[in-house]
Amino acid sequence: MTAQLDPNVLAKVNTWLEGDYDIDTKQSIQKLIDEGNDTELTDAFYKDLEFGTGGLRGLIGVGSNRMNRYTVGTATQGLANYLNKAFPKEEIKVAIAYDSRIKSDEFSQIIADIFSASGITVYLFEALRPTPELSFAIRQLNCHSGVVVTASHNPKEYNGYKAYWTDGSQVVAPHDANIIDEVNAIKSIEDIKFEGDPSKVIKIGAEIDEKYLDHILSLSISKDAIDRQKDLKIVYTPLHGTGVTLVPPLLQKMGFESVTVIEEQAEPNGNGQFPTVVYPNPEESEAMSKAVDKAKEIDADLVLGTDPDADRVGIAAKNHHGEIQLLNGNQTASVLIYYLLNAWKDAGKLTGTQFVCKTIVTTDLIDKMAASYGVQCYNTLTGFKYIAQVIREKEGIEQFIGGGEESYGYLIGDAVRDKDAIASCAMIAELTAYAKDKGLSLFDMLIEIYKQFGFYYEGLISLTKKGKTGAEEIQQMMADFRANPPKTLAGSDVVRMDDYKALTTTDFTTGTTTAIPSGEMGIESSNVLQFFTVDGTKFTCRPSGTEPKIKFYVGVRAELHGKSEFDSVYAGLKEKVIAIGEELGLK
C-alpha cells in the first residue's frame, strides 16, 4: 500500500512513526496505512505548513502538513529562537489569544509553554478573544511578538496560527523569512521545549478589554447623530465566534439601544463545530441568513456579522426597494472610507498629509474617492500585514485615516495593526445612524457614491484545487496566463500587464516593460498577475496564501445617473463579469 507513496512522503511518515511522537499520533498514522489511504497520507506529509498571507493554517490532524501539537510546536520554537536572537539583551514579551475552534485553547497553551520554556514572558488571554484585540494588546503591553490561534473564516476542520511583530502587525519581511529559517533549523521534535515555566505566564483579560473598547469609542465622529438615532435597529451575529465578547457591549456603550443578537449563534461553541452554519464566513449569504431573516422580521436598519476570530465583518441593509440586501466587501469598504473622508473634511482635519490604504484587488473606487478629497491612497499586496507595513513606514510623516480589503476586512485608526471587525462594527453602525439622521439608508449612501464617482462592480471567481495535484494545477494556470496573456476582455483590448512575481509592468501598446518598485509600500515579489483594458476593466489572478484556491478578481465600471438606473446598470456589470469568466474558461 505505502509502496505507492512518493519516497519523500514515505520517509516523513516513517520519521513520525519511529520518532518520539505521542501514541495517539502514531496510531492515527498507522490507521491510514492500514486503510491504504495513500491520498490522505500524501496530503498530510508531502510538505510542511508554511507562513502565507495569514500565517500558518491547515486542516487539523496528523502530519507535517496539518495543524497539530508538533507543527504548532515547531513554528513556535522557531519563532521563540528568532526572538531570542533578535532581542538578545531584552526581557522578551509575547501575547497570545485564541478563538472558538477545535483545539484552539489547547494549542494556545502549547504555545505559551514553549515560549515560557524559552525564557520569554507570556501574556495569555484567560479566555477566547478577537484577533484585533491581540494586535491591540501587543502594543499596549509593549510586546515583541504575539500569536493568535485561529483559522479565521475557514471551515470547521481547519485551525491556524498568526504570528505578530512588535507593532502589532502580522509578521512581514525580513522577519517572516528569518523565522522560517529558524523553524527549518529544527530537525527533531527533541528540539522543542514543550515543558513550560508557569512563573513566566501572566493571564490577561478584562483590563485589556476595557482599554480596547475605550479606544474604539474614541474613534466616534457623529455622537450627536447616534443620540438622535439611538433606536436604530441593529441585528448582530457572531457566527459562534469571539465577536460576542465585545460587539454587543460596545454598541451599547456607543448609545445604541435596539441591538438584537442572534441567540442560537451567540454561543462561542468551544468545540469549533459551528452548528448553525455550513461555513462560518460572513462573505457567504448562508452564514448571514439567520441574521437577515431576523432583520426582515423586526424591520431592522442594519445587519452585522463577524467571523469566528472577529477580524472580518459582513453587513446588510435596506436597499432602494426597502429589502434587506447583503453588501460585498468592496461596497462596505467604499461606504466606510467615504464616511471617514467626509467626516475628516467636515472637521477640517484634511491637511494634505492623510492617507488611506487598500490592497491591489480591492475596488479602485476608493482610489478615486480619496483623490477627490486630496488624500493619498496606497495600494498593497493582498494581506493586511502589508497595509500595516505602510502605516508603520508612514508613521510620523503621514496620518492614517482608514483602510480595507475586498475580503471583508477593515481598519479605522492605527492603534490596531490588523483588520478589526470590532471597530468596524462600531463605525458601520455609526455611519448608518449618520445616514438615517439625514433621511438616507446606508444603501442610499452607496448609491450616492456611485452617482458621484462611477458605479464600480467587482466579481470574484474562486476555484478550489485541493492537495498536491491541486497545487500543481494552480501553478500551471498561473504559468499559462503569464506566458499567454489574454488579448481582450469582454471585447476591450488588454493594454497592460502587471506581474508581481517578476515585479514588472508591460505596456502592450508600446511593447515596453518597466520595473514595479519593491521594498516599500507593501510590495514584494508575489505570484500575482493583473491585466488592464482600454475601458478600465481590471482582471487579477492570485493563488490564495491560506486556502487551496486560485482566485480571479474582475473589476468593471459604468456611469450611474440616478437611483432609477441602479438595477439595470448593476445587472449589466454583473453580466460583464460573468462573460469575462466564461471567455477565459474559469470554471
Do 47-204 and 455-583 show the same overall fold?
Answer: no
CATH of 455-583, one of 3.40.50, 3.30.310, 3.30.230, 3.90.25: 3.30.310
Closest by CA position to 250, among listed 283, 281, 223, 215: 215
Closest by CA position to 197, among listed 265, 112, 93, 301: 112
Q: pLDDT at position 23, please?
A: 96
Q: From CA 225, how far away is CA 31, in angstroms rounded? A: 62
Distances from the Cα of 348 to the Cα of 351, 367, 375, 438, 577, angstroms: 8, 21, 13, 20, 40
How far is Cα of residue 544 from the mean position of the Cα atoms in its chain?
A: 11
Q: How many other CB atoms are there within 10 angstroms of residue 184's CB atom?
A: 11
Q: Give pLDDT tens digits for 65-103.
A: 999 999 999 999 999 999 999 999 999 999 999 999 999
Residue 571: all three cell numbers together: 445587472
Residue 540: all three cell numbers together: 487579477
Contact present, 19 and 12 (Cβ < 8 Å): no
Q: pLDDT at position 183, please?
A: 87
Closest by CA position to 235, among listed 315, 152, 308: 315
Contact present, 260 and 244 (Cβ < 8 Å): no
Q: From CA 350, how far away is CA 333, in angstroms rounded? A: 20
How many residues are present in the chain? 587
- Complete DSSP assignment for 86-116: HSTTS--EEEEEE-SSTTHHHHHHHHHHHHH
Q: pLDDT at position 180, please?
A: 84
Which of 124-156 are b and which e, b meaning 16 or more Cβ less than 10 Å from the residue's Cβ? bbeebbbbbbbbbbbbbbebbbbbbbbbbbbeb
The two beta strands, 538-543 and 549-558, are antiparallel
Predicted confidence band at 1 (pLDDT cuts at 50, 70, 90)?
very low
Q: Give pLDDT tens digits for 522-573.
A: 688 899 999 999 999 999 999 987 678 999 999 999 999 999 999 999 999 9
Domain layout of the chain by residue ranges: 47-204, 227-453, 455-583
Contact present, 102 and 272 (Cβ < 8 Å): yes
Residue 444: all three cell numbers together: 442610499
- Complete DSSP assignment for 463-511: EE--HHHHHHHHHHHHHHHHHS--SEETTEEEEEEEETTTTEEEETTTT
Predicted confidence band at 54 (pLDDT cuts at 50, 70, 90)?
low
Q: Give pLDDT tens digits for 420-443.
A: 999 999 999 999 999 999 999 999
- Complete DSSP assignment for 355-369: EEEEETTS-THHHHH
Contact present, 362 and 330 (Cβ < 8 Å): yes
Output the CATH code of domain 227-453: 3.40.120.10
- What percent of the chain lies above the pLDDT cut of 70? 97
Residue 113: all three cell numbers together: 509553554
Residue 152: all three cell numbers together: 479565521
Q: From CA 16, how far away is CA 41, in angstroms rounded? A: 12
Lowest mean pLDDT among 4-8, 104-108, 233-237, 297-301: 4-8
Q: From CA 352, how far away is CA 357, in angstroms rounded? A: 15
Q: Where are the alpha helices (DSSP H) in 185-279?
A: 206-218, 223-228, 247-254
Residue 360: all three cell numbers together: 491591489
**Residues near 585 by beta carbon (within 8 Å), at least 6 away in sequence:** none
Q: State in Å, rounded, how far the first CA of the chain is from the last one.
A: 34
Q: What are phi and psi of 341, to 5 degrees?
A: -60, -45
**Residues near 10 by beta carbon (within 8 Å), at least 6 away in sequence:** 2
Residue 59: all three cell numbers together: 486542516
Q: pLDDT at position 5, please?
A: 85
Asked if pLDDT for residue 469 goes beyond 50, the answer is yes
Q: Give pLDDT tens digits for 164-207.
A: 999 999 998 889 888 888 988 998 999 999 999 999 999 999 99
Residue 205: all three cell numbers together: 483579560
- What percent of the chain lies above the pLDDT cut of 90? 87
Q: Please give the CATH topology (third level) of the domain spanning 47-204.
A: Alpha-D-Glucose-1,6-Bisphosphate; Chain A, domain 3 (3.40.120)
Distances from the Cα of 465 to the Cα of 5, 58, 283, 495, angstroms: 20, 14, 20, 30
Q: Give pLDDT tens digits for 108-166.
A: 999 999 999 999 999 999 999 999 999 999 999 999 999 999 998 888 899 999 999 99
Q: pLDDT at position 505, please?
A: 96
Predicted confidence band at 268 (pLDDT cuts at 50, 70, 90)?
confident
424 is catalytic: no
Average pLDDT over residues 10-37: 94
Contact present, 362 and 333 (Cβ < 8 Å): yes
From 100, 104, 145, 152, the catalytic residue: 152
